[in-house]
Amino acid sequence: MKLVLRDGSEIELVNFTSNSFIVLCENQEEFNTLWSKMTAENLSRVHITDDNVTILILENLAFDGVQATYNTNRTITGYFYFHGQTYVSDTMSDEDREYAEVGKILLGEE
């Protein structure tokens, strides 16, 4: 799953919730670069994609904060928090979403 910012930057997501997303960064530099992209302009319209298919469009995200956890393998798990989003489009039906989730489980991706 990816978060696509307004400037076209694509960010690989570990997880996405209604008020946060989680990323895994290889090092501090990658984490800092990612954090610097959390501008009001870039968060004004974002897409959540899965296998290059947009599954959700959000507007007006307001960045609340970030938390970094340093892992034993020297990677960084980043937790980015936001609020105020407007759901513009949820392009998958409930049935399609359930089918996709079952497929991921069967493929061992979940």
3-state secondary structure at position 108: coil
**CA–CA distance, 59 with 26 (Å, rounded to integer):** 28
One-letter-per-residue 3-state SS of 48-103: EEECCEEEEEEECCEEEEEEEEECCCCCEEEEEEEECCEEEECCCCHHHHHHHHHH
Predicted pLDDT of residue 86: 75
46 or 103, greater pLDDT:
46
Tens of pLDDT, residues 21-75: 999 999 999 999 999 999 999 999 999 999 988 888 888 999 899 999 999 999 9
Domain housing 7: 2-106
Q: State the pLDDT confidence band at 102, using cuts at 50, 70 and 90.
A: low
Q: What is the pTM of this model?
A: 0.75
3-state secondary structure at position 34: helix
Average pLDDT of the chain to the nearest whole number: 86
Q: Please state the domain count of the chain.
A: 1
Query: With pLDDT > 90 as the criterion, what percentage of the chain qualifies?
Result: 59
Predicted pLDDT of residue 37: 95
